[in-house]
Structure 1
Amino acid sequence: MDLDAYVLERAGEWERMEHLARRRRLSAAEADELVVLYQRATTHLSVIRSRTPDPVVVADLSRQLLAGRAAINRGGRFSWRPALHFLTDRFPAELYRTRWWWLTMSALLTALSGALIWYVSANPGVAGMFLSDAEIRQLVQQDFVGYYSEYQAQNFAGQVWTNNALLTAQCIAAGVLVVPVFYLLGVNVFSVGMTGGVMVTAGAGDTFFTYIAPHGLLELTCLFIGAGVGLRIGWAWIAPGPARTRRQALAGRARSGMLIAVGLVPTLLVAGILEAYVTPSPLPAALRIAIGAIVWAAFLAYALILGRAAEARRQADDEAAYELPTA
């Protein structure tokens, strides 16, 4: 094979491929042309290597092919728009759509926790069935308050964030089986109720609520959302409705649950920051509680007010998509 003639005959195609590869934007026709030229150039390189493997020609064509491949595989430029759309539309809309599930769980679990705190504080012998006198003294005098300042704030924030995110994700994922959700919630309610009851019995009820409220309002709400959404997923295959199969209902609810799980990750990060930096801070108790309450109220407004508007826009878009054209 005459290598010089072979290269001269096809050099125009290689240069054209390299020219298209350098351009930032290509039309559909140009993109198709680039793919064809790339495929042809790979064949040319294979022929050269097998017959007359001149190192200079091989290196130069390989470089052009790398540029062509990079241009073909190049994705779109990064944009914050999808993330912004998710935070301002998809996530709040899903929170609003599932509101009755997690609001019901919030009311029920808060009532159960409060009832357990009252019962343990009214019957001191109950705590003795699970904790020794030494453990109770250790909890009241050191462990409860010390837990929030045991580690450096940034490490503690990361720890509680991951733990709470994992627990919430478990509630959502286990919802398809229904029963495990109640086990996870039962463990959490028991822990809060027992600790609160012991603290109230020891006359440290104000300390308990002061250290729980700043982060607990938001943190527990996220847990309740995870539980409610998880049970909603489980209910989909129990009662899918007349218009859907169990598989369709379960798939739809699972997609909604995954969207909410993703959205709760940054929300729980905020709760972790509150728990690490606000809860154990030297600020007055009223101010710490107020900060937690303001953040919690802002989240509820986000979920219920912004969520209602996002859901209304979504329904309007759906109706417009199916609206028949007028004459």
Structure 2
Amino acid sequence: MDVDAFRAVHEHEWSRLRRLVARRRLDGAEADELVVLYQRTATHLSALRSAQPEPVLLDELSTLLVRARARLTGSRYTAWRQLAHYATRGLPAALWRLRWWTTGAFAFTTVVAVAAGVWIAGNPEAQASVFGSNEDIRRLVQNDFANYYSEYSSAAFAGRVWTNNAWVAATCIALGIAGLPVLAALAFNAVNVGLQGGLLVDNGRAEVFFGLILPHGILELTAVFVAAGAGLRLFWAWVSPGPRSRSGSLATQGRAMFGVALGLVVVLFVSGVIEGFVTPSGLPTWARIGIGVLAELAFWAYCLLLGRPAAAAGETGDLEERYAGDALPTAA
């Protein structure tokens, strides 16, 4: 089929349908015309799908038909309703389904971080090779580690941390299809935290380390673990697709994990605000850590109270069927 010729022949009908859909009021004749044009356009879309896939035109006509159907049926399934549905059903269900992948990322990171901390603590040769001279170590332990959180203004620091962590999370998901880059990123971060933690604990500064890391780090690291779990789940989607084709399984999980990445932007915004305003504040250590714990509990309450029942009802975080496209039947 010549798509350009097909468009040239029927464009006037599609344009007329767009104008009718956009009108606030329709008289009887216009309403009848809307029904006729809706049916014709649906036929055009079916013909295009069966003859030659043209993603841009297919998407254009699908969107037009959705709007026309909403006008005909009187429904008002707006973008805001879609966003609310995803925030209360799709995203928490996707996060809940990732819980074991998230737990695995947490366990892997914990083992590597503790191993790095134990290795560096009480090992002067290792400390010198990693952190430099005794003067460098003293400056890091006494000043630099704590000063990092107050070097910039609270707002600027929060924004900087947020954008950086959001980029890291998105990268973990994007590179997850390869599997190993996610584990490498987790290991790198775990070693970095473990080495600094082991050094400060070994020098009697454990309260400083945990008092500055935990307020924002609990939620921030949870977001990183979720991103890593999402990336690994994407990797597994094509390694073990089940009854689906590899491309179909990857597409389904890819759409859901992209939604998770967008949700983590919000989570990391909250952790960035805590890191920028709470971590360097003059609040007592217990209060700063308590704020971090409350934020973490709120996140898991969101996953449990909304995600668990949504997942049980069949939500996956993927697009609704009418937007995800048609799927071929697959034998079990």
TM-score above 0.5, yes or no:
yes
Question: Cα gap change, 1:257/1:79 in structure 2, threshold over 3 Å: closer, same or farther?
Answer: closer
2:179 maps to 1:178:
yes
Q: Which one-letter code corresponds to 2:303 in the other structure?
A: A
Q: Match of 1:105?
A: 105
Could you tell me whether the CA contact under 8 Å between 1:124 and 1:201 is conserved in 2?
A: no
Shift of 1:23: 5.1
Q: Which one-letter code corresponds to 1:244 in the other structure?
A: R
Could you tell me whether the CA contact under 8 Å between 1:157 and 1:273 is conserved in 2?
A: yes
Shift of 1:97: 1.1
Question: Cα gap change, 1:249/1:201 in structure 2, threshold over 3 Å: closer, same or farther?
Answer: same
CA separation in 1, counterparts of 2:138 and 2:181? 33
CA separation in 2, counterparts of 1:115 and 1:306? 36
With normalisation by structure 2, the TM-score equals 0.72
Shift of 1:108: 2.3
With normalisation by structure 1, the TM-score equals 0.73
Q: Match of 1:228?
A: 229
Q: Match of 2:122?
A: 122
Q: Counterpart of 2:314 in 1: which secondary structure?
A: helix
Unaligned runs of 5+ in 1: 1-18, 35-71, 322-327
Q: Match of 1:310?
A: 310
CA separation in 1, counterparts of 2:28 and 2:110? 58
Q: Which one-letter code corresponds to 1:142 in the other structure?
A: N
CA separation in 2, counterparts of 1:137 and 1:264? 36
Q: Counterpart of 1:211 in 2: which secondary structure?
A: helix
Question: Cα gap change, 1:77/1:30 in structure 2, threshold over 3 Å: closer, same or farther?
Answer: farther
Could you tell me whether the CA contact under 8 Å between 2:112 and 2:191 is conserved in 1?
A: no
Could you tell me whether the CA contact under 8 Å between 1:240 and 1:249 is conserved in 2?
A: yes
Q: Counterpart of 1:280 in 2: which secondary structure?
A: coil
Shift of 1:92: 0.2
RMSD: 2.8
Q: Match of 1:238?
A: 239
CA separation in 2, counterparts of 1:248 and 1:77? 27
CA separation in 1, counterparts of 2:310 and 2:142? 48
Deviation string for 1:215-265 (max 9, x for gaps)?
000000000111111011111222222x11211111112111101001111
Q: Match of 2:166?
A: 165
Question: Cα gap change, 1:91/1:116 in structure 2, threshold over 3 Å: closer, same or farther?
Answer: same
Matches within 5 A, 1:23-38: 24-26=24-26, 30=30
Could you tell me whether the CA contact under 8 Å between 1:95 and 1:304 is conserved in 2?
A: no
Q: Match of 1:253?
A: 253
Deviation string for 1:129-177 (max 9, x for gaps)?
1221233222112211111111111111110000000001111000111
Could you tell me whether the CA contact under 8 Å between 1:181 and 1:227 is conserved in 2?
A: yes
Q: Match of 1:295?
A: 295
Q: Match of 2:82?
A: 82
Question: Cα gap change, 1:129/1:300 in structure 2, threshold over 3 Å: closer, same or farther?
Answer: same
Q: Match of 1:216?
A: 217
Question: Cα gap change, 1:22/1:95 in structure 2, threshold over 3 Å: closer, same or farther?
Answer: closer
Q: Which one-letter code corresponds to 1:224 in the other structure?
A: F
CA separation in 2, counterparts of 1:96 and 1:21? 39
CA separation in 1, counterparts of 2:172 and 2:214? 22
Identity level (%): 45
Q: Which one-letter code corresponds to 1:111 in the other structure?
A: V
Shift of 1:79: 5.3
CA separation in 1, counterparts of 2:151 and 2:24? 53
Give the number of the structure whose alpha-carbon radius of gyration is greater.
1
Q: Match of 1:192?
A: 193
2:264 maps to 1:270:
no
Question: Cα gap change, 1:22/1:111 in structure 2, threshold over 3 Å: closer, same or farther?
Answer: closer
Unaligned runs of 5+ in 2: 1-18, 35-67, 322-332
Deviation string for 1:276-310 (max 9, x for gaps)?
01111101100110110011011012113321011
Could you tell me whether the CA contact under 8 Å between 2:109 and 2:187 is conserved in 1?
A: no
Q: Which one-letter code corresponds to 1:290 in the other structure?
A: G
Question: Cα gap change, 1:268/1:24 in structure 2, threshold over 3 Å: closer, same or farther?
Answer: same
Question: Cα gap change, 1:21/1:196 in structure 2, threshold over 3 Å: closer, same or farther?
Answer: closer
Question: Cα gap change, 1:22/1:217 in structure 2, threshold over 3 Å: closer, same or farther?
Answer: closer
Q: Match of 1:146?
A: 147
CA separation in 1, counterparts of 2:300 and 2:283? 25
